[in-house]
């Protein structure tokens, strides 16, 4: 009988049920999409912030002072210490390897370059462009195209192997020498093709950027690397991040080591590469943390506001739906139904409505979140299936809360008034 009452109520009052159901569906849909966006926004914006380039730098431990003014290096190339290129793939064997977006080794040298008949001394920068590297069974591609996304090339990017003999020319140097992509120049009497003109807004505009192997040949030191820029996804720094790992208890040390702070990733880089010193580039790393926590906080607060608004909207819709049924209440009571059974009938209906609306809303919200992720961040924004029971539970609770006062009022109503239609 009870089941039939509920069933018939849904069958006969399609319009009202639909209105309340739409409200619940919309509320749950928006809530699901917002939760998905808010939980994933940190990761997504973190990746966008990597546009600022590398946030960690690895240098040789026993290096002499840099002599660099406005990006021009005055240090003789023979001076100072080097890292070994063969150690670099180990970066992808670290604990936080999946947070490493990319790395590029740098080796500045200078060489005699013969262009269009004239000869002059030019600074060269050896690096990876997009080099395929293997560590164990895993292969990956890394280089300045990951770590320096603001570098723009007119023409094409060179290949990383030295026998392709391709180079990039900085845009100011190219303008001074009237170079075009496709022309040839001689570095140490070897012919090289200009693959493209590089524009960075930095000192590289006055340099030649060449494959690392070529710079090593010019320097005469195989495997030499001056410094490595590492771009990593990190967690905003807090007081715990700044603790000295040596002063931590073993349990605390594990927690510190297993958090993706810039500090702990730098520490692991130092472990991975022998005789190295790794450090965060504070301009990038520090501000990244601030911007990230601001955007995350904003989304969290907006999610709260959205959840509250959805809850109130669902409550209002439920109150309306039940208020309209006071005739039925009057009739049931006149026929001798107890208050408890009337109330439980309404609660059962509300629960059913909440579950149906919740399911549809969750599906819709997931689609919506996916759409937002695709259109804004060009990547998937997935909704965890774990969220489904939580969202359904919240939907039922909110629906009950919204119906409770209306149900109480309906039950308390004198059947005579209800049936007469007064209110």
Binding to other proteins in span 196-225, by CB under 8 A: 199-202
CA distances in angstroms from 103 to 50, 106, 134, 149, 206, listed in the order given: 12, 10, 14, 12, 23
Widest distance between CA atoms in the chain: 109
Does the protein bind other proteins through residue 265 (CB under 8 A)? Answer: no
Does the protein bind other proteins through residue 177 (CB under 8 A)? Answer: no
Does the protein bind other proteins through residue 122 (CB under 8 A)? Answer: no
Q: State the CB neighbour count (10 A cutoff) for residue 304.
A: 12
Does the protein bind other proteins through residue 239 (CB under 8 A)? Answer: no
The nearer residue to other proteins, 195 or 285, going by C-beta atoms, is 285
Does the protein bind other proteins through residue 149 (CB under 8 A)? Answer: yes
| 359-398 residues near other proteins, rule: CB under 8 A | 368, 372, 375-377
Give the shortest CB-247-to-other proteins separation in angstroms: 18
Distance CA 164, CA 130 (A): 14
Does the protein bind other proteins through residue 228 (CB under 8 A)? Answer: no
Helix (H) or strand (E) segment spanning residue 355: helix 339-372
Q: What is the DSSP string of 180-198?
A: -TT-EEEETTEEEEEEEEE
Give the shortest CB-94-to-other proteins separation in angstroms: 19
The nearer residue to other proteins, 18 or 133, going by C-beta atoms, is 18
Residue 335 tokens, joined: 């026929």
Residue 285 tokens, joined: 């790393």
Among 150, 180, 389, 414, binds other proteins (CB under 8 A): 150
The nearer residue to other proteins, 26 or 391, going by C-beta atoms, is 26
Does the protein bind other proteins through residue 132 (CB under 8 A)? Answer: no
CA count, 13 A, side-chain hemisphere, 304: 5
The nearer residue to other proteins, 99 or 206, going by C-beta atoms, is 206
Q: Segment near other proteins (CB under 8 A), from 50-58, 101-109, 132-140, 206-214?
A: 50-58
Distance CA 216, CA 107 (A): 8
Q: Which long-range contacts (CB under 8 A, 24 or more apart) does 203-207 make?
A: 203/70, 203/71, 203/72, 204/125, 204/151, 204/170, 205/170, 205/171, 205/172, 205/173, 206/72, 206/123, 206/170, 206/172, 206/173, 207/122, 207/123, 207/124, 207/125, 207/170, 207/173
The nearer residue to other proteins, 258 or 301, going by C-beta atoms, is 301
DSSP strands (E only) in 20-74: 56-60, 68-69, 72-73
Give the shortest CB-285-to-other proteins separation in angstroms: 7
Q: Segment near other proteins (CB under 8 A), from 30-38, 81-89, 139-147, 336-344?
A: 30-38
Give the shortest CB-152-to-other proteins separation in angstroms: 8
3-state DSSP assignment of residue 278: strand
Give the shortest CB-15-to-other proteins separation in angstroms: 8
Between vectors from CA 362 to CA 358 and to CA 366, what angle results, nearest 5°?
170
Does the protein bind other proteins through residue 410 (CB under 8 A)? Answer: no
Among 1, 3, 70, 386, binds other proteins (CB under 8 A): 70
Does the protein bind other proteins through residue 298 (CB under 8 A)? Answer: yes
Does the protein bind other proteins through residue 340 (CB under 8 A)? Answer: no
Does the protein bind other proteins through residue 286 (CB under 8 A)? Answer: yes
Distance CA 327, CA 336 (A): 14
Does the protein bind other proteins through residue 125 (CB under 8 A)? Answer: no
Handedness of CA 365, 366, 371, 372 (dihedral sign): positive
3-state DSSP assignment of residue 165: coil
Among 104, 142, 280, 399, binds other proteins (CB under 8 A): 280
Burial of 83 (0-12, 13-18, 19+ CB in 10 A): buried
Q: Segment near other proteins (CB under 8 A), from 99-107, 153-161, 212-220, 277-285?
A: 277-285
The nearer residue to other proteins, 295 or 360, going by C-beta atoms, is 295
The nearer residue to other proteins, 220 or 422, going by C-beta atoms, is 422
Number of residues located near other proteins, criterion CB under 8 A: 79
Does the protein bind other proteins through residue 291 (CB under 8 A)? Answer: yes
- Smallest CA-to-CA distance from 243 within 233, 231, 254, 228 is with 254
Q: Segment near other proteins (CB under 8 A), from 36-44, 138-146, 185-193, 334-342?
A: 36-44
Among 154, 156, 184, 287, binds other proteins (CB under 8 A): 287
The nearer residue to other proteins, 134 or 380, going by C-beta atoms, is 380
**CA-based Rg of the chain, rounded to a whole angstrom?**
33
């Amino acid at each position: 009988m009870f089941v039939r009452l509920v069933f018939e109520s849904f069958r006969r009052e399609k319009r009202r049920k639909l209105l309340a159901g739409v409200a619940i569906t919309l509320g749950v849909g928006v809530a699901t999409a917002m939760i998905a966006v808010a939980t994933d926004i940190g990761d997504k914006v973190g990746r966008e912030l990597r546009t600022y380039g590398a946030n960690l730098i690895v240098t040789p431990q026993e290096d002499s002072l840099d002599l660099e003014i406005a990006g021009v290096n005055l240090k003789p190339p023979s001076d100072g210490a080097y890292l070994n290129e063969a150690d670099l793939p180990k970066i992808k064997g670290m604990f936080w390897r999946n947070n490493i977006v990319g790395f590029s080794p740098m080796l500045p040298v200078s060489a005699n370059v013969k262009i269009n008949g004239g000869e002059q001394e030019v600074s060269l920068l050896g690096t990876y462009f997009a080099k395929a590297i293997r560590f164990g069974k895993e292969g990956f591609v890394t280089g300045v195209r990951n770590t320096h996304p603001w570098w723009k090339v007119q023409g094409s990017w060179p290949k990383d192997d030295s026998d392709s003999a391709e180079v990039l020319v900085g845009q100011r140097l190219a303008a001074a020498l009237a170079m075009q992509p496709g022309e040839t120049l001689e570095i140490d009497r070897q012919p090289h093709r200009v693959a493209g003109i590089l524009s960075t807004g930095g000192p590289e505009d006055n340099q030649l950027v060449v494959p690392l192997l070529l710079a090593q040949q010019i320097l005469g030191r195989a495997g030499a690397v001056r410094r490595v820029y590492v771009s990593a996804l990190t967690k905003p720094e807090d007081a715990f991040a700044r603790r000295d790992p040596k002063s931590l208890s073993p349990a605390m040390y594990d927690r510190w080591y297993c958090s993706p702070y810039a500090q702990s990733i730098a520490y692991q880089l130092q472990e991975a590469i022998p005789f190295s010193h790794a450090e965060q580039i504070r301009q990038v790393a520090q501000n990244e943390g601030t911007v990230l926590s601001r955007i995350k906080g904003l989304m969290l607060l907006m999610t709260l506001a959205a959840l509250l608004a959805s809850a109130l909207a669902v409550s209002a819709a439920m109150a309306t739906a039940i208020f309209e049924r006071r005739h039925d209440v009057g009739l049931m009571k006149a026929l001798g139904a107890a208050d408890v059974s009337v109330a439980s009938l309404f609660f059962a209906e509300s629960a059913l409505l909440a579950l149906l609306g919740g399911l549809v809303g969750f599906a819709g919200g997931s689609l919506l979140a996916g759409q937002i992720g695709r259109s804004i961040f060009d990547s998937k924004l997935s909704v965890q299936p774990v969220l489904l029971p939580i969202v359904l539970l919240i939907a039922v609770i909110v629906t009950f809360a919204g119906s409770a006062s209306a149900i109480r009022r309906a039950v308390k109503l004198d059947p005579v008034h209800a049936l007469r239609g007064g209110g």
